[in-house]
């Protein structure tokens, strides 16, 4: 590889770049620890100080990321990096750094501060509005967030092929993804799943009683620790805690943290959240160590990230093979609660479809329809095609059309999610994209790992983890998601594999034709 | 108060200073959380990444603290602050900030990095050397640390009244304290305690069997939580965890964290470490909220800090009144282990004196002799009066002279503490200074709180906490320790109160006429 241009004397500009991004990465990871601690360990009295500490770390990191010095350093390395092999870590790192620097520089500090402030105020207002099911009280905050989101999007005029406000917003969560493609994917997905939902609703219903009952939390804790330990996570490099909303975070190499929650009346809450969050963690842990503390040392996008949580939760965790492995363990921990339920009963219970009001409680099929609805509405809001005054009606009408459910109040309707309250427009569709990617990967895994099913049934998950690591995890964020899809999925994002997967599984569960 | 000089337009330079020190404080607190997490929660796999994250936070904080900008800002405020009332928060803050800035600026970045590196290498080498009781292998590291400490001290030539290398080192832990005063205090303390130790050794020995036995850790945990909850710590603003070496830290206002350790064969390990660490935490939590996120928003020195851990551990926790309150609780948790021990038996057991090899296991009397020995030796090393080759012999000779114990090997002798391995010379004497201050404060508290003894016996610790808060805690680091001693103790540091305290308590325990 050609020598990198030198800034002065024997110091290499590339080494200097590594150094600077190492610091930027450390500041981001320290902030992740503050956030993890806030949600799992912090005494409530520490909240005000923690908000200030977090704001400082975010600001200091941002200052370093957007500095003139760093810009000059990157410019100086641009030509050199273009002479390197496209796939080399160095070339990928400089490409990613240039993109990150430019995106960060386009947003004035004032606007960024305003966005953070409005998000924080919006979240607080949303908590009250949701509690009181008072959409009207929430409208001014939503209006403010929308206005700021449009102003934010304007900063990206002329950036790459960004052609609309929603393009710009989406790019923060799924770099390079554009509205037109997302609209086409989610439209096809919605249309592809609705006949399946019809068929399921017409079939004999499935009994999920084995998952409900009295599940003492102490025993749940022990079982979850056992299940997590059986996942392909390196011993001594992760921990499992509890939080109101389960989440996953990576504090640095060798330090993945996942959380779960225990519902004493439903074992599923803990069971599949452990698998879901562990999926995120397995992906984080799989990045090539050579990329750590660089701008590409992490999963590439929210869509790919969610593909791994879903893959481990739904394709592994709700698949027949894993449930056959799980069944004796669950029965040993909860003999009475499980009654005489067989592995087959458990498999059917785990895959029960039930259109319902709340996204985070939705089953594997209807979840995607929740997302399609949110995507359509937030796109219309950003594009000014839908007035805020009409949002609840539009929400309720689409809930009836897509899911066949009646929304009784806004708390269980348009006010249920925090995303818009926090100014996060463009985030929702990555959840469904994750399902598409998971389905595509699973078909490939099935074709390439001869004994996959038998391995999972025996609780041998390492081969799948190895395959995913080689195929996806190790790349970190070296390539843009679209490029990664070409390399990893052998093409573009597709709807058909997810529809096939659900048709096949639900066909068995509901004994369709 | 006169208007502060303005930097530009309507921005006040003082507000700018607050802002900058707010960030510096936040970076320090974030680092404290990283350290707490490392010792209580972090999976072992995260160690390497954590070291880098910590180094980055320390470096970024240091850069901000030593910036030219901050220096100019402070210079611009110097005259203004000298026109303010001496005791005002603003004047105190600027005085402290100027001192901190100057101290930080005097040390070249290279030397600081070298000190950190040598400390880290030294600690690792020490772990092996201690394990293998191999002093010779440790000598090169100690030599390196000593050389660097002397170079560090040279940076402070002409700083205030610093007149020697040890003066400069001591100042980092006990600002304004000088070698001559410390030497006089510890010499008098050593000489004052040796006759008492003779008398105790000649008396009938005390039985501490009630504290030893089989104490199931689960029950210890519950009891410690109960005892900590009964201390004057605000509910919802602290937590208690476990670590190999108990410690205390403050992550920010309303967020104090203490740790303990459980020895399944000795209840005292947990009991008095909870009180000790809580003492540190109670002091941290007591700083005037108006001082938070400033250079004076924390306890003033290690000596004062240790005075509070010792006061709650030994004056409260090993006092007869508290033990009378504790006795029924301990007996309820461990009825069999305590046998028929009365409160008086427990009081005597808690105050047993036994000259021993290891400082951290020493009793309240001999602990001070351990410190006197370390102080004398490290002073002689820094001043070049003692060769490293002769250090173990000097250690062993003084152990025999002061404590009457024979040192069987260097692991239990000169290699037992980490301080010198980490380059911390000047730290040890603050432990004994803390005992002096605690004794002085306790005499004042007894004179000013009429019902102190009865309150403690009833478990009412809030009045003592209030008194200490008004007297000491609220000041944070507004004044130099010497000034604070004038205001809080009504004079200078003194040896007599500690000697009186030990003579009185051990007189009862050992029934010395």
List, for residues B90-102, the tens digit of each pLDDT value. 999 999 999 999 9
Contact B310, B498 (CB under 8 A): no
Residue B6: per-residue pLDDT: 59
| B494 Cβ neighbours under 8 A, 6+ residues apart | B436, B440
Which of B49, B239, B254 has its CB closest to that of A41? Answer: B239
List, for residues A185-233, the tens digit of each pLDDT value. 999 999 999 999 999 999 999 999 999 999 999 999 999 999 999 999 9
| The dihedral sign for the CA sequence B143, B147, B149, B150 | positive
Q: Is the pLDDT of residue A459 over 50?
A: yes
Give per-residue burial for B184-202: e unless 16+ CB within 10 Å, then b. ebbebbbebbbebbeebee
**Rounded CA separation B493/B440 (Å):** 8
DSSP for A8-39, please give it.
ETTEEHHHHHHHHHHHHHHHHHHHHHHHHHHH
Using a CB-CB cut-off of 8 Å, the residues of chain A touching B30 are 30, 34, 53, 56-57
**Rounded CA separation B492/B478 (Å):** 17
**Rounded CA separation B123/A288 (Å):** 30
Contact A229, B22 (CB under 8 A): no
DSSP B2: P
Residue A12: per-residue pLDDT: 87
Mean pLDDT of A258-284: 97
In chain B, the residue whose alpha carbon lies closest to the alpha carbon of A252 is B49
Using a CB-CB cut-off of 8 Å, the residues of chain A touching B292 are 49
Coil, helix or strand at residue B12: strand
Q: Is the pLDDT of residue B48 over 60?
A: yes
**Rounded CA separation A196/A503 (Å):** 7
Give per-residue burial for A261-276: e unless 16+ CB within 10 Å, then b. ebeeeebbbbbbbbbb
Of the residues A33, A58, A225, A285, the best mutation for testing chain B's interface (the one with the most B CB atoms within 10 Å of its CB) is: A33
| A184 Cβ neighbours under 8 A, 6+ residues apart | none
**Rounded CA separation B227/B237 (Å):** 16
Q: Is the pLDDT of residue B314 over 90?
A: yes
Please tell me the number of Cα atoms within 13 Å of A458 on its side-chain side. Answer: 9
Using a CB-CB cut-off of 8 Å, the residues of chain B touching A63 are none
List, for residues B455-500, the tens digit of each pLDDT value. 999 999 999 999 999 999 999 999 999 999 999 999 999 999 999 9
Give per-residue burial for A330-366: e unless 16+ CB within 10 Å, then b. bbebbeebbeebebebbbbbbbbbbbebebeebbbbb
Confidence of residue A8 (pLDDT cuts 50, 70, 90): very low
A499-503, B111-115, B259-263: which has the minimum mean pLDDT?
Answer: B111-115
Six token digits for residue B218: 């689960």
Q: How many CB pairs under 8 A join A and B?
A: 131
Residue A10: per-residue pLDDT: 44
**Rounded CA separation B258/B278 (Å):** 6
DSSP A2: P
**Rounded CA separation B83/B28 (Å):** 30
Mean pLDDT of A406-433: 97
Residue B513: per-residue pLDDT: 77
From the list B259, B225, B241, the residue with the least C-alpha distance to B333 is B225
Place of tokens 């009865």: B454
**Rounded CA separation B135/B152 (Å):** 25
Using a CB-CB cut-off of 8 Å, the residues of chain B touching A34 are 30, 33
Q: Is the pLDDT of residue B11 over 70?
A: no
Confidence of residue B235 (pLDDT cuts 50, 70, 90): very high
Confidence of residue A1 (pLDDT cuts 50, 70, 90): low
Distance (Å) from the alpha carbon of B220 to chain A's nearest alpha carbon:
19
DSSP for B316-385, please give it.
ITTSHHHHHHHHHHHHHH-HHHHTT--HHHHHHHHT-----S-GGG--TTHHHHHHHHHHHHHHHHHTTS
**Rounded CA separation A278/A308 (Å):** 9
List, for residues A24-38, the tens digit of each pLDDT value. 999 999 999 999 999
Q: Is the pLDDT of residue B31 over 80?
A: yes
Mean pLDDT of B36-60: 95
Give per-residue burial for B434-457: e unless 16+ CB within 10 Å, then b. bbbbbbbbbbbbeeebeebeebbb
User: Quick count: other Cβ atoms within 10 Å of Cβ B321?
Assistant: 17
Which residues of A form the catalytic set? 277
Residue A2: per-residue pLDDT: 65
> Residue A386 phi/psi, 5° resolution?
-130, 130
Six token digits for residue B273: 């470490």
Phi/psi region, residue B357 (left: phi>0; alpha: psi -120 to 50; beta: rest), is alpha
CB-CB under 8 Å, A46 with B41: no
CB-CB under 8 Å, A46 with B252: yes
In chain A, the residue whose alpha carbon lies closest to the alpha carbon of B250 is A46
Q: At what angle do helices B47-65 and A13-40 cross, to 10 degrees?
A: 100
Q: Is the pLDDT of residue A176 over 50?
A: yes
Residue B10: per-residue pLDDT: 44
**Rounded CA separation A282/A477 (Å):** 15
Contact B130, B419 (CB under 8 A): no
Coil, helix or strand at residue A234: coil
Using a pLDDT cut of 90, give the percent of chain B over it. 96
**Rounded CA separation B303/B485 (Å):** 11
> Residue A510 phi/psi, 5° resolution?
-100, 5
Average pLDDT, chain B: 96
Residue B8: per-residue pLDDT: 45
A82-96, A110-124, B367-381: which has the minimum mean pLDDT?
Answer: A110-124
Contact A4, B33 (CB under 8 A): no
Which of B26, B59, B236 has its CB closest to that of A43? Answer: B236
The distance of Cα A447 from the centroid of its chain, to the nearest Å, equals 26
Using a CB-CB cut-off of 8 Å, the residues of chain A touching B252 are 46, 49-50, 52-53
Residue B227: per-residue pLDDT: 98
Residue B339: per-residue pLDDT: 87
Using a pLDDT cut of 70, give the percent of chain A over it. 98
Average pLDDT, chain A: 96
Q: Is the pLDDT of residue A11 over 70?
A: no
- Which residue among the candidates B16, B100, B174, B277 is catalytic per the annotation? B277
**Rounded CA separation A179/A181 (Å):** 6
Residue A5: per-residue pLDDT: 67
Which of A49, A56, A256 has its CB closest to that of B253? Answer: A49
């Amino acid at each position: 590889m050609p020598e990198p241009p030198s800034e002065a004397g024997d110091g290499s500009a590339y080494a200097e770049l590594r150094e600077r991004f190492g610091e930027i990465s450390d500041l981001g990871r320290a902030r992740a620890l503050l956030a993890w601690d806030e949600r799992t360990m912090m005494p409530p009295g520490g909240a005000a100080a923690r908000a200030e500490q977090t704001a400082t770390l975010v600001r200091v990191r941002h200052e370093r990321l957007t500095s003139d010095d760093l810009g000059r350093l990157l410019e100086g390395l641009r030509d050199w990096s273009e002479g390197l092999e496209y796939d080399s870590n160095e070339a990928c790192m400089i490409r990613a750094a240039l993109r990150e620097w430019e995106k960060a520089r386009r947003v004035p500090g004032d606007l960024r501060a305003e966005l953070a402030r409005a998000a924080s105020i919006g979240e607080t207002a949303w908590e009250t509005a949701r509690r009181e099911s008072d959409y009207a009280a929430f409208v001014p905050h939503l209006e403010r967030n929308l206005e700021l989101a449009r102003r934010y999007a304007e900063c990206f005029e002329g950036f790459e092929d960004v052609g609309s406000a929603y393009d710009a917003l989406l790019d923060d969560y799924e770099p390079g993804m554009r509205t037109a493609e997302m609209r086409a994917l989610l439209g096809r997905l919605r249309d592809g799943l609705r006949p399946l939902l019809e068929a399921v609703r017409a079939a004999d219903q499935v009994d999920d009683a084995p998952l409900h009952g009295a599940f003492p939390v102490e025993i749940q804790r022990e079982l979850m620790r056992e299940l997590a330990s059986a996942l392909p996570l390196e011993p001594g490099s992760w921990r499992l805690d509890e939080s109101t909303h389960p989440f996953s975070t990576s504090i640095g190499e060798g330090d993945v943290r996942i959380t779960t929650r225990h519902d004493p009346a439903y074992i599923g809450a803990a069971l599949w959240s452990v698998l879901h969050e562990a999926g995120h963690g397995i992906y984080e842990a799989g990045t090539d160590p050579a990329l750590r503390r660089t701008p590409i040392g992490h999963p590439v996008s929210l869509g790919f990230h969610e593909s791994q949580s879903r893959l481990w939760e739904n394709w592994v965790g709700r698949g027949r093979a894993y449930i056959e492995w799980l069944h004796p363990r669950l029965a040993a921990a909860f003999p009475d609660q499980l009654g005489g339920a067989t592995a087959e009963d458990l498999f059917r219970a785990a895959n029960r479809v039930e259109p319902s009001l709340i996204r985070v409680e939705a089953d594997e099929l209807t979840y995607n329809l929740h997302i399609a609805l949110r995507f359509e509405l937030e796109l219309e809001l950003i594009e000014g095609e839908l007035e805020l005054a009409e949002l609840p009606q539009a929400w309720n009408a689409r809930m009836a059309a897509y899911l066949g459910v009646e929304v009784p109040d806004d708390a269980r309707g348009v006010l249920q999610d925090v995303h818009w309250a926090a100014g996060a427009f463009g985030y929702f569709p990555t959840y469904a994209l994750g399902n598409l990617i998971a389905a595509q990967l699973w078909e490939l895994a099935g074709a390439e790992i001869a004994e996959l099913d038998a391995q999972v049934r025996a609780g041998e998950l390492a081969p799948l983890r190895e395959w995913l690591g080689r195929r996806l995890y190790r790349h970190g964020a070296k390539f843009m998601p679209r490029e990664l899809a070409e390399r990893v999925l052998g093409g573009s994002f597709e709807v058909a594999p997810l529809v096939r997967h659900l048709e096949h599984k639900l066909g068995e569960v509901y004994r369709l034709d």
